Amino acid sequence: MVISTISNKDFKYNYLIHPNSIEGIFQQCKLLLSTTRGTVPLERDFGIDSKAVDKPSNILTAGLKVDIQQQFKKFIPRATLLEVKTTSKNGAVEIHVTIGVKDE
C-alpha cells in the first residue's frame, strides 16, 4: 500500500497521468476533494457535500470523514482513507487527508 497526504487546495488535473496508476488514483482523490457534490453533470453524487462547510470544525471533520469514506468506496475503491484534518483560512476550508492506495 502506498500512503500519501493530499489536500483540496490548488488542484490542477494532469491529463498525462494514467488513471489506474498510483499517481492517477491520488489525482482522482484530489479531484473528489475539490468537487462540490451536485456540480458534475451525469454524476451528481460525486464530490464533497457543501452543507458540511458551515459547521464547527470538530463536527465538520467528523462528518467529512464519513462522507469521504463513502465517496471513496463508491468512486475510488482502491483508495483507503486513513486520516482527515481540516483547516480554515479566510473563510475557506482546506481538507487534508491521508490515504493509502492498494497496489494491483
What is the DSSP code (8-state) at residue 52?
Answer: G
pLDDT digits (tens, 9 = 90+) for 52-97: 767 776 777 788 889 999 999 999 999 999 999 888 777 777 889 9
| Cross-strand partners of 98 | 5, 83
Residue 98 binned pLDDT confidence (cut-offs 50, 70, 90): very high
Residue 16 has a pLDDT of: 96
Sign of the torsion angle spanned by Cα atoms 73, 42, 104, 21: negative
Please state the rounded mean pLDDT for residues 17-24: 95
Residue 79 has a pLDDT of: 94
| Distance from C-alpha of 17 to C-alpha of 25, rounded to nearest angstrom | 9
Give the CATH number of domain 2-101; options: 1.10.10.10, 3.40.50.20, 3.10.580.10, 3.10.450.40.
3.10.450.40
- Average of per-residue pLDDT values in the chain: 89
CB-based contact 86:67 (threshold 8 Å): no
